[in-house]
Amino acid sequence: MSVTRLPVLFVTDLVVLPGMVVPIELDEAARAAIDAAQSSGDERVLVAPRLEDRYASYGVVATIERVGRFSGGAPAAVLKAEQRAEIGSGVTGPGAALWVEVEPVDEVVSERAHELAEEYKRLVVAVLQRREAWQVIDQVHGMTDPAQIADAAGYAPYLSIERKRELLEQPDVERRLETLIEWTREHLAESELTDKIGNDVREGMEKTQREYLLRQQLAAIRKELGEGEPEGSEDYRARVEAADVPEAVRTSLLKEVDKLERSSEQSPETGWIRTWLDTVLDLPWHVTTEDSTDVVAARAVLDADHHGLEEVKDRIVEYLAVRSRRAERGLQVVGGRGSGAVILLAGPPGVGKTSLGESVARALGRKFVRVALGGVRDEAEVRGHRRTYVGALPGRIVRAIKEAGSMNPVVLLDEVDKVGADYRGDPAAALLEVLDPAQNHTFRDHYLELDLDLSDVLFIATANVVEQIPSALLDRMELVTLDGYTEDDKVAIARDFLLPRQLERAAVTPEEFTITDAALRELAANYTREAGVRQMERLLAKALRKAATKLATGAERLDVDEPDLKELIGRPRFTPEAHERTSVPGVATGLAVTGLGGDVLFIEASASDGKSGLTLTGQLGDVMKESAQIALSFVRAHADVLGVDPAFFEKAIHVHVPAGATPKDGPSAGITMVTALTSLATGRPVRSEVGMTGEVTLNGRVLPIGGLKQKLLAAQRAGLTEVFVPLRNEPDLDDVPADVLESVTVHVVGDVLDVVRGALTPAGTAGAEAHAAA
């Protein structure tokens, strides 16, 4: 077709396709286009979309049907779109309008276009049927021209402006129909899904409303007939009336049953009330077990389960003896303020703290429950959650009572020193009421909101490091310290407890495997260095696995003595090293306490030419750094007494405490640092068999320290034969096992000068002369 010139009328929020009749509000530019068309006598304009990033490639030639005003008074024109046209270059023309060259597009209709048109008509009819637009359906059925059918999509409300512009700029009828079919199918699928969701929601609401009305009618009918409430509520009321619970608890239970009877089954509160009622009714309010009154038998049970640990065994037997005498005299035994006991077993790992709780329960004839507190950081774990929270539960204490099935069990609070605190509260603070015999007879859990009497519960807490327990909580517990085992203890435990257990686990009989006491002593002395016996049990298990393998391959019997250990479990892991470490001046052997028990600590000092000063390494805490400063100040102030050349203090002094990767703190290495510095300054090595512990002051006084028993056990394990301890710690020696005091000579000192005189090798010995010569 020929190219013609037409004024352009741009539209923004509308896309006009051929066959459409549309009213358009006339702004200044649109009015100019209408006037230009009318003045030219052609009465036609090119209607094109206004695009932000480019000029449109296609528009539609439209005839001006009428010019007038909308009902609101705005100027308007009614245009009838006739044919799609491709826009060419701009040209000049009369008036203020923009004129362009346009070339009308010939619509090529193929046989496939007719097939696509029929498919599209079916989809359009389906869409219109959903909207019940029956008159429009008749018009669609009357269309036969595929191009006309495709361009009728300009009226479709479900197509966006962008998609309609895409149709305008698609001259190929087949492509246009294919695109429309795809879009219409998408729209139908979305409409069907939306309708399905709407129907489901509507049906659900109707069902809920119907059930509510029926339930109200049923309640009214029951009331008229004089019948009772539903079976579930009656069941709870009967259970509450039959339950053996305190009167205050019964009153609270009946209040909740009343709420349950008034609540709808659809109310979420109904589930909360039922759960609370079940929890309270399941608690053993008046159930207690009868304590064993045979003190001798109870002690026999404790001795059969554990070697040593005399102090804690004595405390349990004392508790049982007092309760037995009160029962004989008819005094109140069960419940009441302060009638329970709270014991804290503190000591290094592997000494039997956790297993002791179960033995105590067996000795008393009580139920046993273990509550693991390690890593607990939420206060609600102890006191429970408020009932308003979804999934609320009572705290671990209430759950332990429920699990035990009695109100006087033995509850083991394991790893109480590992409790943490964060934004959810401090569980250790929540334990203050639980572990106070003067308060826990009215313990109130947040979930129950009822007074629970815990006064008859025997609480046994365990901890590795007492210093990590808050002082207020520690004050409420009776501290019993388990400091570890001596070498003789370990041999006895291995012989009587560990070996039979490992023989059973390895399926080996005592006739097939024997091990001598000498081999067990070697295991305790040079294969392990621990306060407890866990590692020793692992080594026995390893030896028995090797033995089982040999028995399975033809051996009839295996007798293990000390020389056989290397073949079974490898070479010794620990050998005495104090002699080697202290062979040079400037190294002293100290004693320390860690979370794993007592240990040996070497203090090393060296001096070199350079700027005077003190360097400290070994991951030392502030208190230990201050101890080093105090030690250097004391040596400097008493240089003449100690025989130290003043020129020594002009050197760069370095104090190191291996192992460097282990953090260390505390004041008890004070006298060790004084001894190491004096040894370095005088060239007199420290005697290899000597260890020491004690805090030092600036004037040389030796102050007391803690953990003396654990430190002396560590000294024995390390092969030391002499130990210097503070004079004020002398009463603590009563707790040290006799065999330790026989193998280690303990010197009690009040002045650090006495330590230096006793710990350093005499002047003029080979070691000192060698150093002086160097």
CA distance 498 to 566: 20
Q: Are 292 and 455 in contact (CB under 8 A)?
A: no
Q: By C-alpha distance, which of 686, 612, 615, 619 is closest to 647?
A: 612
207 annotated active-site: no
**C-alpha dihedral sign at 589, 592, 598, 599:** negative
Task: Report the distance separating Cα 495 and Cα 492, nearest Å.
Answer: 5
**Range 13-42 burial, b when 16+ CB lie within 10 A, else e:** ebbbbbbbebebebeeebbbbbbbbbebee
Is 198 annotated as belonging to a binding site?
no
Q: Is 354 annotated as a binding residue?
A: yes
Cα 303 to Cα 15, 62, 292, 598: the distances in Å are 97, 110, 16, 25
Chain centre to alpha carbon of residue 329 = 51
Question: Which residues partner with 608 through β-bridges?
Answer: 652
C-alpha 134: how far from its chain's center?
A: 64
Six-digit token string for 506: 């390895």
**Residues 452 and 444 sit within 8 Å (Cβ to Cβ):** yes
**351 marked among binding-site residues:** yes
Question: Is residue 586 a contact partner of residue 676, using CB atoms and an 8 Å limit?
Answer: yes
- Give strand pairing partners of 87: 102
CA distances from 746 to 215, 725, 756, 767 (A): 86, 7, 15, 25
The answer to whether 413 and 397 are in contact (CB under 8 A) is no
The amino acid that residue 422 corresponds to is: D
767 is in an annotated binding site: no
Give me the residue label for tokens 């109140």.
Answer: 332
- Nearest-angstrom CA–CA distance, 509 and 631: 58
Q: Which two tokens stand for residue 240?
A: 């509450």
Tell me the pairing of strands 597-608 and 443-444. unpaired
For helices 622-637 and 670-682, what crossing angle results, to 10°? 40
SS (H, E, C) 146-205: HHHHHHHHHHCCCCCHHHHHHHHCCCCHHHHHHHHHHHHHHHHHHHHHHHHHHHHHHHHH
Q: Which of 313, 367, 490, 711 is catalytic?
A: 711
Helix, strand, coil percentages (3-state) for the chain, rounded to 5, are 50, 20, 35
* 350 marked as binding residue: yes
Q: Tokens for 356?
A: 């002791």
Q: CA dihedral in degrees (172, 173, 178, 179; nearest 10)?
A: 70
565, two tokens: 């250990």
CA 332: distance to chain centroid? 44
* Angle made by CA atoms 112, 116, 120, in degrees to the nearest 5: 170
**361: Cα separation from own chain's centroid:** 31
Tell me how many degrees the CA angle 383-387-393 measures, rounded to the nearest 5.
Answer: 55
Annotated active-site residue 711? The verdict is yes
**Phi, psi angles (nearest 5°) of residue 167:** -65, -40
Three-state SS for 613? strand
Euclidean distance between CA atoms 309 and 320, whole angstroms: 17
Amino acid at 44: R
d(CA 69, CA 67): 7
Is position 348 annotated in a ligand binding site? yes
**The pair of three-digit structure tokens given for residue 132, joined into one six-digit string:** 């019940």
Q: What distance in Å separates the CA atoms of residue 489 and residue 482, rounded to the nearest whole number?
A: 13
Greatest pairwise CA separation for the chain in angstroms: 134
CA distances 587 to 524, 685, 760, Å, are 27, 7, 10
Among the listed residues 668, 679, 688, 709, the single catalytic one is 668
Q: Could you list the active site residues? A: 668, 711
* Binding site as annotated, residues for ATP: 347-354
Q: Which residues are annotated as a binding site?
A: 347-354
